[in-house]
Amino acid sequence: MKYVYIKTWGCQMNEYDSSMIAMFLKKEKKYSITEKAENADILILNTCSIREKAQEKVFHQLGRWKKLKNKNSDIIISVGGCVATQEGKEIFKRANYVDIIFGTQTVHKLPYMIEEVQKKRKSMIDISFPNLEKFNHSLQPKVSGHTAFVSIMEGCNKYCSFCVVPYTRGHEISRPSDDILLEISILAEKGIREVNLLGQNVNAYETRAFNGKTCYFSDLLRLVSEIDGIDRIRFTTSNPLEFTDDIIDVYRDTKKLVSFLHLPVQSGSNRILRLMKRSYTIQDYENIVKKIKLARPNIQISSDFIVGFPGESEKNFLETINFIKKINFDMSFSFIYSSRPGTPAAEMKDNTSLSEKKKRLYILQNCINKQTMSWSRKMLGTIQSVLVEGVSKKNIMELYGRTENNRIVTFQGSPKIIGKFVNLEINKVHTHSLKGKLLLK
């Protein structure tokens, strides 16, 4: 038995890929997953290239693993994910003790590559893009808890000027709807009650169904809602450019779709959006939000923001702050712009100091936090439907669950209700979490 340690950085797609890697290896009956790198025979680093200095972060980690390999030359070190796809053979040049480099679309080949390295003691690389081949090798989905992520598509065609995803994940390609529905049906049979549909741009989903008709994202949402046992549906992430009326209509007639939407905007300035090549305007975004709120009046919206994009003036930043207040976003993922090698934005002139960017990020996050707290206060005294996920990590005498609008709620109750939906009266609020009282039926 060989022990495998998997370290994962980045988005939920990377987490999903790592779970697939674990399944592929366990299928071989000769690998076991360990939680400690020191105990491993095979070290796997699944990387992310979104943040600044992502490559350096990878090589720092590899340097730590090199010490383990110096003690045991039989250890196999594998690097995968977006940095592996982006850097390719350059990783071997800087870290010649690495044995395997695999890409975002070749995770299913890892068991074979490991076996070949063990036999021939020769490094291997495969960062090709064989479309959705990895899903053809997927097994019975792994279940942990009562919520699950399900990948419905890979890649992106948008080529935003700041983003590396089209280069590291490839072009948009959608999984067959029948395969997705089968996977979710199996998950439901195993006790999953909530699914989160994953993709770089889920609202671009489009494929042929078994009957020959085109299945769009709105169709897929409705089909998933018909699966017995699945009571709550989320998705991440989407692009305003393709948030079409047929998707908005689903909010009107599909109650299993949560009243919470993450819709990245990136900036509140039309000038910056043009530089980002986002291909929509602030007015377009506002119109989408108006339509969604007509279909689902109680919906709450979160977004992504990049602060300090090359060329962003003080005026442009203030436009973003005013836009945040106007839409009244509930939450956000917000970051200082990170230059990614090979992207058009990396060649743009950037005159804003790091200290100014940090100041702007602080102002933006403070604005969002105030709005988040305001939304939380509105929940005080309300009755919320909560999926009970387990025992609280902070207090073993309490359980925790999640509301539709993505708030964690802790409360006292019997472990017998884990995996079930319960009604809680919210009696205490914090910015990102709540306290509740269980209402008995």
**Residue 163 assigned to a binding site:** yes
Q: Which residues contact 12 (CB under 8 A, 6 or more apart)?
A: 149, 196, 198, 236
CB 307 within 8 A of CB 368: no
CB 288 within 8 A of CB 303: no
Task: Locate all alpha helices (DSSP H) within 72-163, ordered by sequence.
Answer: 81-87, 90-94, 110-120, 133-136
DSSP state of 408: E
Strands 206-208 and 2-8, by their bridges, are unpaired
**Residue 160 assigned to a binding site:** yes
Distance (Å, rounded) from C-alpha 256 to C-alpha 227?
11
Q: Which residues contact 112 (CB under 8 A, 6 or more apart)?
A: none
Q: Which two tokens stand for residue 343?
A: 């992207």
Closest CA to 271 of 315, 234, 236: 315
**Residue 82 assigned to a binding site:** yes
Distance (Å, rounded) from C-alpha 392 to C-alpha 396?
6
Chain-centroid distance, C-alpha 278: 20
CB 200 within 8 A of CB 165: yes
Distance (Å, rounded) from C-alpha 91 to C-alpha 79?
9
**Residue 156 assigned to a binding site:** yes
Distance (Å, rounded) from C-alpha 48 to C-alpha 335?
15
Specify the residue for token string 């709620």: 409
CB 261 within 8 A of CB 292: yes
Cite the annotated binding site for [4Fe-4S] cluster by residue number. 11, 48, 82, 156, 160, 163
Cite the annotated binding site by residue number. 11, 48, 82, 156, 160, 163
